[in-house]
């Protein structure tokens, strides 16, 4: 009976109900959009960094991370590839061979990082082909390489020119080679842009006298996948006496600390937002309560107990808040989906700042389920908590005072 009465009450004055719902509705949309933007920026930042380096999860020989030498490489293992591909959350995995060398051209010499890649697989993750600013992308059968733009400028090289690489190969073997430059790649990260050389992995294995050897297998995952869960599954099925499985948070703790520190600032901002939302919702609840004083007085005068009347008011608040938060989640969904596919892009000085950190100058919105549910739940409980004021006001109300209002 009380639920039926509360439902009828909220629709007796549609204007008042819609004003109250609107305050909660727009509060949910605002909170969801802000959280989606923050989460989207962090996800994009991590994706940019891990795709060119470690992957979300990396499998390498035990001890490699502490001593990143080509001597700590391991033979390609089809069984390992099958175990990785069996994980539904893993979208792509790429074997890589990594080492260092001296690159020289004429009288110029530069220390570089050499990365052996499977070109087709690598392009799916890093989109290297899109970053070519001169020349063409390599394929797995090429005997040529890619230079980062800054490195090419430093050595005075262009496509078609030849670069000499000199290093130490597997177990102290001599490693040297003379290769044509097929393409020049622009990287957002200044560090990568001034020292990265990419070549087909088979060519690098030949140069370093490391046949069928790789230093790591980097794994990329589905959006929203539980990285810790995937890592636990891999540890349970792999030979951990031989392999080490690490996630990006372990391999790049500095990046994780930057994100966590930035999140602390976001919590302050979103806390202020919740405070603004609370005042807005409280204002509408206060208006609704004041407008209904005479109505409450009549109900008490005809014999309705104040305790039951307060319960009805709480049920009304619950229904209004529930409908409004649900509508807010639905209303935020198309906005988030649009900006996920068409992210906000920056230009000018802001773009230069993003480029300096190796990130694309965009704000993509995250469409993770928890972005919607958490913010809607917080706004919902704010509305319910503030509605206690209306219930207390009714409970302490005197019928004669209410009738005179």
Per residue in 293-344, pLDDT (tens digit) is: 776 677 667 676 777 777 777 777 788 888 888 898 899 889 888 888 888 7
Angle at 130 between CA 125 and CA 132, to 5 degrees: 120
Query: For the segment 348-366, what is each residue's pLDDT rounded down to a tens digit?
Result: 777 776 666 556 677 778 8
Residues 280 and 209 in one domain: no
Q: Which of 365, 318, 331, 381 is nearest to 3 (CA)?
A: 318
Q: 27 CB contacts (<8 Å, ≥6 apart)? A: 277, 280, 281, 328, 379, 382
Candidate from 62-71, 140-149, 382-391 with smallest mean pLDDT: 382-391
130-136 average pLDDT score: 90
For residues 374 and 388, membership in a common domain is answered with yes
Spatial separation of the C-alpha atoms in residues 329 and 214, rounded to whole Å: 47
CA–CA dist 114, 97 (Å, integer): 8
> Are residues 57 and 246 in contact, defined by beta-carbon separation less than 8 angstroms?
yes
**Residue where one domain finishes, among candidates 251, 285, 316:** 251
pLDDT value of position 402? 58
- What is the domain extent for residue 84? 54-251
The Cα–Cα gap between 202 and 42 comes to 35
Backbone angles phi, psi at 34, to 5 degrees: -65, -45
- Residues 6 or more apart whose CB falls under 8 angstroms from that of 219 comprise 55, 56, 57, 58, 59, 84, 87, 90, 92, 93, 230
Measured CA to CA, the distance from residue 89 to residue 346 in angstroms comes to 32
Chain segment 54-72, per-residue pLDDT in tens = 788 999 998 888 888 889 9
CA distance 19 to 275: 19
Q: What is the dihedral of CA 21, 27, 29, 31, to 10 degrees?
A: -150
- Least Cα distance to 197 among 96, 131, 112, 98 occurs for 112
**Residue 202 pLDDT:** 93
Count of domains for the chain: 2
Looking at mean pLDDT, say which of 102-111, 275-284, 303-312, 394-403 comes out highest: 102-111
Output the average pLDDT for the chain.
Answer: 83
Say if residue 146's pLDDT is above 90. Answer: yes
Residues 222 and 330 in one domain: no
Averaged pLDDT, 234-262: 84
Are the beta carbons of 84 and 219 closer than 8 angstroms? yes
d(C-alpha 400, C-alpha 240), whole Å: 78
| Radius of gyration of the chain, Cα coordinates, nearest whole angstrom | 30
295 in the same domain as 223: no
Is residue 184 located within the same domain as residue 333?
A: no
Percent of the residues in the chain that have a pLDDT greater than 70, as a whole number: 91
Q: Are 109 and 129 in the same domain? A: yes
- CB under 8 Å, gap of 24 or more: what pairs does 33-37 form? 33/332, 33/335, 33/336, 33/365, 34/269, 34/270, 34/273, 35/270, 35/371, 35/374, 35/375, 36/332, 36/336, 36/365, 36/366, 36/367, 36/371, 37/363, 37/365, 37/366
Same structural domain, 110 and 240: yes
Whether 194 and 113 map to the same domain: the answer is yes
pLDDT at position 359? 64
Instruction: Identify each DSSP E strand in 62-195 by its residue range.
Output: 74-75, 90-105, 108-117, 132-135, 145-148, 162-168, 174-185
Banded pLDDT at 101 (limits 50, 70, 90) = very high
**What pLDDT sits at residue 358?**
58
Which range among 71-80, 133-142, 228-237, 257-266 shows the weakest confidence by mean pLDDT?
257-266
pLDDT at residue 373 tops 80: yes
pLDDT bin (cut points 50, 70, 90) of residue 401 is low
Q: Looking at residue 371, what is its pLDDT? A: 80
pLDDT tops 70 at residue 166: yes
Among 25-34, 46-55, 146-155, 244-253, which is the least confidently predicted range?
A: 46-55
Instruction: Report whether 358 contacts 47 (CB < 8 A).
Output: no
Give the pLDDT band of residue 164 (cuts 50, 70, 90).
very high
Between 10 and 98, the higher pLDDT residue? 98
120-135 mean pLDDT: 88
Q: Based on the domain organization, do 288 and 319 belong to the same domain?
A: yes
User: Using one digit for the tens of pLDDT, what is the confidence trace for 254-263?
Assistant: 777 877 777 7
Q: Tell me what pLDDT residue 372 has.
A: 81
Whether residues 174 and 296 share a domain: the answer is no
Report, as an integer, the average pLDDT of 156-183. Answer: 91
Work out the number of other CB atoms within 10 angstroms of the CB of residue 347.
Answer: 8
Q: How far apart are CA 94 and CA 195, in angstroms?
A: 21
**Are 215 and 269 part of one and the same domain?**
no
Residue ending a domain, choose from 215, 231, 251: 251
Q: Are residues 275 and 302 in the same domain?
A: yes
pLDDT given for residue 319 in this prediction: 82
Mapping DSSP to helix (H, G, I), strand (E, B) and coil, where does residue 19 land?
A: helix
Structure tokens at 346: 């920056």
| Beta strand 145-148 pairing with 174-185 | parallel
Element (H, E) at 355: helix 348-356
Domain boundary among 199, 217, 251: 251
């Amino acid at each position: 009976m009380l639920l039926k009465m509360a439902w009828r009450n909220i629709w007796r004055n549609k204007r008042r109900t819609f004003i109250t719902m609107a305050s909660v509705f727009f509060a949910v949309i605002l909170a969801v959009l802000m959280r989606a933007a923050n989460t989207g920026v962090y996800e994009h930042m991590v994706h940019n960094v891990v795709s060119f380096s470690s992957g979300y999860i990396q499998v390498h020989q035990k001890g490699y991370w502490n001593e990143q030498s080509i001597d700590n490489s391991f033979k390609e293992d089809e069984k390992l590839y099958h175990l990785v591909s069996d994980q539904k959350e893993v979208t792509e995995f790429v074997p890589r061979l990594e080492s260092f060398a001296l690159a020289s051209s004429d009288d110029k010499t530069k220390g570089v990082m050499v990365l052996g890649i499977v070109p087709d697989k690598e392009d799916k993750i890093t989109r290297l082909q899109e970053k070519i600013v001169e020349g063409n992308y390599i394929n797995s059968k090429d005997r040529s390489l890619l230079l980062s733009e800054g490195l090419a400028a430093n050595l005075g090289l262009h496509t078609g020119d030849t670069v000499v690489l000199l290093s130490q190969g597997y177990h102290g073997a001599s490693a040297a080679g003379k290769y044509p430059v097929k393409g020049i790649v622009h990287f957002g990260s200044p560090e990568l842009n001034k020292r990265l050389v990419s070549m087909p992995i088979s060519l690098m294995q030949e140069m370093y006298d490391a046949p069928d050897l790789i230093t790591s297998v980097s794994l990329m995952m589905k959006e929203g996948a539980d990285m810790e869960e995937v890592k636990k599954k891999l540890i349970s099925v792999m030979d951990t006496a031989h392999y080490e499985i690490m996630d990006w948070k372990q391999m790049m703790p500095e990046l994780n600390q930057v994100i966590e520190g930035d999140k602390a600032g976001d919590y302050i901002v979103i806390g202020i937002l919740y405070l603004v939302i609370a005042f807005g919702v409280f204002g509408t609840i206060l208006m609704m309560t004041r407008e209904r004083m005479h109505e409450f007085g009549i109900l008490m005068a005809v014999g309705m107990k104040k305790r039951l009347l307060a319960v009805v008011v709480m049920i009304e608040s619950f229904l209004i808040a529930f409908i409004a938060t649900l509508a807010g989640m639905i209303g935020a969904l198309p906005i988030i989906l649009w900006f996920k596919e068409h992210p906000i892009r920056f230009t000018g000085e802001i773009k230069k700042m993003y480029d300096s950190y190796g990130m694309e100058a965009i704000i993509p919105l995250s469409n993770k389920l928890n972005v919607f549910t958490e913010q809607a739940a917080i706004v919902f409980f704010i509305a319910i908590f503030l509605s206690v004021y209306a219930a207390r006001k009714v409970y302490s109300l005197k019928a004669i005072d209410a009738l005179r209002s």
